[in-house]
């Protein structure tokens, strides 16, 4: 139940990838023989599958090692490609893969604004508008928060940026494949995605970089063979790219039905917990949120003691996927949640392979753990 951290690779994706480890193993940049042509064909077919999910041209897509790299390329690449001292706008609830590049850019002399978020973790478009300066180059706002699932009004924010001639980047990792993406509604210039959040393999992602004018100038993170429009040098990992393509195709065809099912599963979990426990606080927006997300703080229990009792289910407290060193959630803190409730928060990310029976099992485990902890602390008093 920790599908916001990562997902199981769909068996259909594994099957599509397998031949590209053995029979079709060429280098997609080898232009003189059949092995290379076959690999290159597979890469371009996968690029088209991802483009179909985003409803865009395949030429706009740059393969990266994941969304961390895509976000770094978007932020550092665009800021370093623009005039020195440019202004970047991010917000306090972004993933570390946006906040940390922004911090580094600030240390390197760029002007960085970190906007606050409201009690749901949402960015206010008006605050974005007010933050724009003469020298603003780029605004970065995620589509869906990876901890609390809140959906940002990225349509309005992208439109504000477009009108003001400022570039807009969206980390769409958590919403792509779960909710439809539409460039007509969200005129973003740069979009990051990651395969392993949508039942594809780890280690592959995409940065969408809008083609056309005004041209987006990006300084690459690596220099080398000039792959991917000279923006991302390095031999392409063909099996991973094929897996991403297949994952995007499956997501595109199953998204609507899957989202309905996940919403029902999430509501079953939330209702089940609420029915049997007092003192629960929902974190994140009650309606504007990802279908499979439930982030809940539990009053009157110690967070660490609670996690110790939940070994039979895979959930995270705070966010396991944002950083390798566990810190109290910066997202909940930015939303104004107290330290105690932040520590006693559980994030459920329900996914494609979760079932009703698993949800019922999870409810029992959480209810038993919370009841035992509350009873023992009452006994101590």
Ligand X SMILES: Cc1ncc(COP(=O)(O)O)c(C=O)c1O
d(CA 255, CA 247): 11
173 versus 216: smaller Cβ distance to ligand X: 173
112 versus 206: smaller Cβ distance to ligand X: 206
195 versus 369: smaller Cβ distance to ligand X: 195
* Shortest spacing between CB 69 and ligand X, in angstroms: 7
Radius of gyration of the chain (CA): 21
Q: In what order do the strands lie in the sheet with 190-194?
A: 61-64, 205-209, 190-194, 167-171, 136-140, 87-91, 111-115
46 versus 142: smaller Cβ distance to ligand X: 142
Q: Are 145 and 135 in contact (CB under 8 A)?
A: no
- The DSSP output letter for 284 is S
* Shortest spacing between CB 309 and ligand X, in angstroms: 26
- Give 124: exposed, middle or buried? Use CB within 10 Å, 0-12, 13-18, 19+: middle
Give the residues lining the site for ligand X (CB under 6 A).
Answer: 66-68, 95, 97, 142, 146, 171, 173-174, 194, 205, 321
* Shortest spacing between CB 175 and ligand X, in angstroms: 9
Question: 149, 148, 121: which is closest to 335 by C-alpha?
Answer: 121
Q: Is 349 helix (H, G, I), strand (E, B) or coil?
A: strand
- Residue 155 makes CB contacts below 8 A (sequence gap 6+) with 185, 186
Q: Is 338 helix (H, G, I), strand (E, B) or coil?
A: coil
* Shortest spacing between CB 164 and ligand X, in angstroms: 25
Q: Catalytic site residue 321?
A: yes
Q: Nearest-CB residue to ligand X?
A: 66
Cα distances (angstroms) measured from residue 345 to each of 276, 281, 310, 375 = 17, 9, 12, 19
Question: 114, 246, 227, 248: which is closest to 176 by C-alpha?
Answer: 248
Q: Which of 209, 321, 332, 335 is catalytic?
A: 321
d(CA 198, CA 351): 9
Q: Are 306 and 315 in contact (CB under 8 A)?
A: no
* Shortest spacing between CB 326 and ligand X, in angstroms: 14
* Shortest spacing between CB 237 and ligand X, in angstroms: 13
241 versus 298: smaller Cβ distance to ligand X: 241
Tokens read off for 350: 């329900």
99 versus 160: smaller Cβ distance to ligand X: 99
38 versus 69: smaller Cβ distance to ligand X: 69
Question: 276, 256, 320: which is closest to 268 by C-alpha?
Answer: 276
Q: Are 125 and 160 in contact (CB under 8 A)?
A: yes
* Shortest spacing between CB 104 and ligand X, in angstroms: 16
d(CA 133, CA 106): 16
* Shortest spacing between CB 101 and ligand X, in angstroms: 11
Q: Are 74 and 217 in contact (CB under 8 A)?
A: no
d(CA 381, CA 374): 11
166 versus 321: smaller Cβ distance to ligand X: 321
Kindly list the catalytic residues: 321
């Amino acid at each position: 139940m920790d599908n916001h951290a990562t997902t199981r690779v769909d068996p259909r994706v594994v099957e599509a990838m397998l031949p590209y480890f053995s029979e079709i193993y060429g280098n997609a940049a080898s232009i003189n023989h059949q092995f290379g042509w076959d690999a290159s064909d597979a890469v371009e077919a996968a690029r088209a599958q991802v483009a179909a999910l985003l409803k865009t041209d395949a030429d706009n897509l740059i393969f990266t090692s994941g969304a961390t790299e895509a976000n770094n390329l978007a932020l550092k690449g665009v800021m370093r490609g623009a005039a020195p001292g440019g202004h970047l706008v991010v917000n306090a609830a972004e993933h570390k893969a946006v906040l940390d590049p922004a911090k580094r850019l600030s240390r390197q002399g760029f002007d960085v604004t970190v906007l606050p978020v409201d009690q749901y973790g949402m960015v206010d478009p008006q605050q974005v508008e007010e933050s724009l300066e003469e020298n603003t180059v780029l605004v970065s706002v995620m589509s869906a928060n990876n901890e609390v699932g809140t959906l940002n009004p990225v349509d309005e924010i992208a439109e504000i940026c477009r009108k003001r001639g400022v570039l807009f980047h969206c980390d769409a990792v958590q919403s792509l494949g779960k909710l439809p993406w539409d460039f007509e509604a969200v005129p973003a210039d740069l979009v990051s995605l990651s395969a392993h959040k949508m039942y594809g393999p780890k280690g592959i992602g995409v940065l969408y970089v809008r083609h056309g004018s005004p041209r987006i100038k990006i300084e690459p993170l690596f220099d080398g063979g000039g792959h991917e429009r000279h923006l991302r040098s390095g031999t392409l990992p063909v099996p991973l790219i094929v897996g991403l393509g297949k994952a995007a195709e499956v997501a595109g065809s199953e998204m609507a039905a899957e989202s309905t099912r996940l919403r029902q599963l999430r509501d079953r979990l939330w209702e089940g917990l609420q029915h049997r426990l007092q003192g629960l606080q929902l974190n994140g927006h009650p309606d504007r949120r990802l279908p499979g997300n439930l982030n809940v703080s539990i009053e009157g229990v110690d967070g660490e003691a609670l996690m110790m009792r939940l070994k039979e289910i895979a959930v995270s407290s705070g966010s396991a996927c944002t950083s390798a060193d566990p810190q109290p959630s910066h997202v909940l803190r930015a939303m104004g949640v107290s330290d105690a409730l932040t520590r006693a928060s559980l994030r459920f990310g329900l996914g494609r392979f979760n079932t009703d029976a698993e949800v019922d099992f999870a409810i029992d485990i959480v209810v038993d753990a919370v009841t035992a902890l509350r009873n023992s602390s009452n006994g101590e008093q």
